[in-house]
Structure 1
Amino acid sequence: MTDGDRRSALVVVATEAEPVVGECRLRYQREAVERGLPAHLTILFPFAAATEIDDGLLTKLRRLYTPVRPFAYELASVSSFPDAAWLAPVPVEPFHSLVGVARQAFPALPPYGDPEHVVVPHCTIGTDDHPEAVESMVRELREDLGPQLPIRCHATELVLLVEGTDGRWAQQEAISFEGA
């Protein structure tokens, strides 16, 4: 991967979830875990190319997200897309609000590259290209994680993750939610 190909993402890390979902993520999403992606809820991906992240962009992110109030949420149930099994946050509205801020501030960077994309906030636990495998994954996750749900979490910051030339992801910046 060249320096110009490196991507970035804005996420809320689900710190409290990792001890509960870590083994499942290793089983169903090993590559993402090995590449340094924590359990998280995506706010905007892809974000800016890593080479475009500078002090001005970081200042803009701080200005946008520092006024946000920290909030509690729960990862309450297992759900799926055709290619992914995930945990659903409750309430979902604060995540829609964070996504809305990003959409308004960065209209040239739509979620998943699609201006029409409807964002469904979620914490991915596993992925597979085969819907039948995802269905099986969901059944297993409901059995394994069900008794441990909901997972109580707190969103206290927006994290900028940046992909390295080796394909590993790392936190470049954390913007604390300081709203009252």
Structure 2
Amino acid sequence: MKIPEAEPAVRAWREQLDPSARAGVPAHVTVLFPFLEESRIDSAVCAAVGEVLEGHRAFEVRFESCGRFPGVLYLVPEPDTQFRQLTQAIADRWPQTPPFGGQFTDVIPHLTVAQGQQATALKKVEADLLGCLPITARVSSVELMVHDGTGWHERASFTLQ
């Protein structure tokens, strides 16, 4: 889900330190990755995504702190319950595409700022970001992003009620 309210704080860092940003992915919290191959996403799949999401409501979220995975710095969404529910709903509908390929037992919602970096670089970015927090956002849609072989682009957007 796009988080445009975070862009002013994270854009420059993401463009430098997050390859997905350079490939066209805006500041976001992932619902499900990987999903279906682009060639398999047709009007029926889009309709099914819409059906899965139609019972979910728009919500407010705050980013007040940073978190880390190995080599990764991210903003922590609070609360994260709705993100988890959306991930579970889509993963339940497409069990052949478990979140992050099934690598993790607990999928932690996050907004990636930097990845593949040493701890010293992440510490510098985190110090800068803490001066920009908190960030408040309203999440009112889920975007379906696809990779066309060279970059990412939005295939469809689904409004949350």
Pick the TM interval, shorter chain. over 0.9
SS of residue in 2 equivalent to 1:58: helix
Question: Unaligned 5+ residue runs, structure 2?
Answer: none
Give how far 1:69 is off.
0.7
In structure 2, the residue matched to 1:24 is 13
Contact 2:74 2:113 in 1 (8 A): yes
Give how far 1:64 is off.
1.0
Q: Which whole-Å CA distance do the structure 2 matches of 1:137 and 1:151 have between them?
A: 22
Q: Which whole-Å CA distance do the structure 2 matches of 1:46 and 1:106 have between them?
A: 11
Greater than 3 Å deviation, 4+ residue runs: none
User: In the comparison of the two structures, how many residue pairs are matched?
Assistant: 161
In structure 2, the residue matched to 1:110 is 98
Contact 1:79 1:138 in 2 (8 A): no
In structure 1, the residue matched to 2:122 is 138
Over the matched positions of the two proteins, sequence identity in percent amounts to: 27
Question: Unaligned 5+ residue runs, structure 1?
Answer: 1-11
Q: Which whole-Å CA distance do the structure 1 matches of 2:90 and 2:120 have between them?
A: 34
Task: Note the 1:4-153 alignment, pairs <5 A.
Answer: 12-29=1-18, 31-114=19-102, 117-128=105-116, 133=118, 135-153=119-137
Paired residue type of 1:75:
F
Q: Which whole-Å CA distance do the structure 2 matches of 1:127 and 1:28 have between them?
A: 6
Paired residue type of 2:125:
L
Q: Which whole-Å CA distance do the structure 2 matches of 1:33 and 1:45 have between them?
A: 15
Give how far 1:127 is off.
0.7
Q: Which whole-Å CA distance do the structure 1 matches of 2:120 and 2:134 have between them?
A: 21
**Deviates further, 67-76 or 113-122:** 113-122
Contact 1:50 1:163 in 2 (8 A): yes
Cα deviation digits, residues 72-110 of structure 1 (max 9, x gap): 001121111002111100001111111110121111110
Q: Which whole-Å CA distance do the structure 1 matches of 2:51 and 2:89 have between them?
A: 11
TM-score by length of 1: 0.85
